[in-house]
Amino acid sequence: MNYRHAYHAGNIGDVLKHAVLARLIVYFQRKEKPFRILDTHAGIGQYDLTSEETRKTGEWQQGIAKVLDADIPNAVAALLQPWLEVVRDLNPDGALETYPGSPVLARRLMRRSDRLTLTELHPVDFKSLSDLFAGDFQVKTIHLDGWLAMGSFLPPKEKRGFVLIDPAFEVADEFDRMTVSVLKAWKRWAGGTYAIWYPLKDTRSIGRMHDAFAAAGIRDLLSLELKAGKSGPDTRMLGSGMTLINPPFTLADEMRTLLPWFNSILHQGPGSGWDVTQLIGE
């Protein structure tokens, strides 16, 4: 396991992922009933943007830094407010030095009755994560393979909530593994919401995953894409995408407001763009 999210924290992929994560939480809080989030590939929780790793790539400067520096139109600001408030609260002096990963973002937006289960397999990253949430009765950190977690912890006892699936894509067959694991989870908990993030590199694998979901009978599938484009011949990732199973009915419209705006401030070169597609209707 070589992947360390510290090199990528706050980049354009995180912008898409964390904007969606915050909107999911806002939606689940429309009802008083508690819910649970399972974050299968949790990382270390939050990121020091002054560290050697983050400074080496500086990816956050092309992502969250641009979002915070931009003039945000009202409709967009209203949708981003919960996420950006967490980012600003973590950086009270104004300078952006700490970036909330999915665990800290989720934890800060949760109510007292909501619960968060975090699994992380990298031993060093798991130690940082479990130290961060030590003694927090709303958060359970588990040193476990996220693919196994989906088979073990679903459905949650709250019977409401969602699963964030954000793998490192280090291994060649990650898409196939993910497809199998998500389908297994969906069979255990067909009413759950699943939010899957991936880089937009291997479009064939993404298509295969969508086909497998459709063939299994999944009926509400939303695809989101945000592409920065190629800033130079060496650019490896054009952008990233997310697939949502059983998304909140509000999400597609919210993303039609957010993604063109993200694209307008984050684009870097040819191939930039955004997309919101309902792959299979409800």
List of residues contacting ligand SAM (CB under 6 A): 1, 3, 5, 17, 39, 41-43, 101-102, 119-122, 125, 145-147, 166-168
Q: Name the minimum Å distance from CB 229 to ligand SAM.
A: 21
Catalytic residues: 166
Amino acid at 272: S
User: How far from 8 is each of 15, 41, 61, 194, CA to CA, in Å?
Assistant: 11, 14, 10, 23
Paired tokens of 220: 């509400």
Q: Name the minimum Å distance from CB 210 to ligand SAM.
A: 21
Closer to ligand SAM at the Cβ: 144 or 280?
Answer: 144
Interior angle at CA 8, CA 211 and CA 21, nearest 5: 55
| Sign of the Cα pseudo-torsion (274, 13, 15, 104, in order) | positive
Q: Name the minimum Å distance from CB 118 to ligand SAM.
A: 9
| 8 A C-beta contact, residue 205 and residue 176 | yes
Closer to ligand SAM at the Cβ: 97 or 220?
Answer: 97
Q: Name the minimum Å distance from CB 39 to ligand SAM.
A: 6
| 8 A C-beta contact, residue 47 and residue 169 | no
Which residue's CB atom is positioned nearest to ligand SAM? 101
- Residue 219, helix vs strand vs coil: coil
